[in-house]
A and B are shown apart, each in its own frame.
Chain A
Amino acid sequence: QKEVEQDPGPLSVPEGAIVSLNCTYSNSAFQYFMWYRQYSRKGPELLMYTYSSGNKEDGRFTAQVDKSSKYISLFIRDSQPSDSATYLCATENVAYSGAGSYQLTFGKGTKLSVIP
């Protein structure tokens, strides 16, 4: 079993919809949880990150972590066509890291299309 599982989609929603993207992970030692956004033929860019359980909000985006169920979510409110991209969840296990080098484990990504 891969350590981070993510439904690859694709997911297609109308403009203005609320989008829910989800990942599950298997290693309870993971402590940092990230969402990266990747536009077509571009490199991933960090969207949000959270430490341990709880919610974090940034504009239209909310990241949620439930460590008891090992579940990571990203919610996008009032989705826009410019949100069309692939969204990658990622986790970081500090036990794998040293000397300031943090190794991330990525999900396979969910491709989102927001239709005008």
Chain B
Amino acid sequence: NAGVTQTPKFQVLKTGQSMTLQCAQDMNHNSMYWYRQDPGMGLRLIYYSASEGTTDKGEVPNGYNVSRLNKREFSLRLESAAPSQTSVYFCASSPGVAGQQYFGPGTRLTVT
């Protein structure tokens, strides 16, 4: 049981490049989330998916798109990366119990 896995672990992009961050969970959870974590800003919700086939914006969705490919997988896409998107990105999943979210190990993204 791997829990929540994220790929890649590290990535460096040039401004304007695109990339997709992958997330998968093997806990049969319905809900999945993407956060970014920046120094002094804490964890901020980018997008979430309450169930397969649905996605909704969080606090900071601009510049991102998401796809809930199936119940296991939830990807985050940066279409045209900007230096302001330099951050650590965390994926999480939830069994639908209040307060309980399980996080992946994160992706460290640098945009130059």
Contacts and interface: CB of A to CB of B under 8 A. Distances in A.
A102 B95 CA distance: 10
Interface string A76-115: 0000000000001010101001111111101111000000
A94 B98 contact: yes
B88 to A, nearest CB: 9
Nearest to A45: B103
A103 B90 contact: no
A111 to B, nearest CB: 11
B110 interface: no
Interface of A: 6, 8, 31-34, 41-46, 49, 51, 88, 90, 92, 94, 97-104, 106-109
Given A99-B51, A101-B50, 20 more contacts: A8-B40, A31-B98, A32-B98, A42-B106, A43-B4, A46-B99, A88-B43, A94-B98, A97-B98, A98-B50, A100-B51, A100-B94, A101-B31, A101-B48, A101-B94, A102-B97, A102-B101, A106-B43, A108-B40, A109-B42
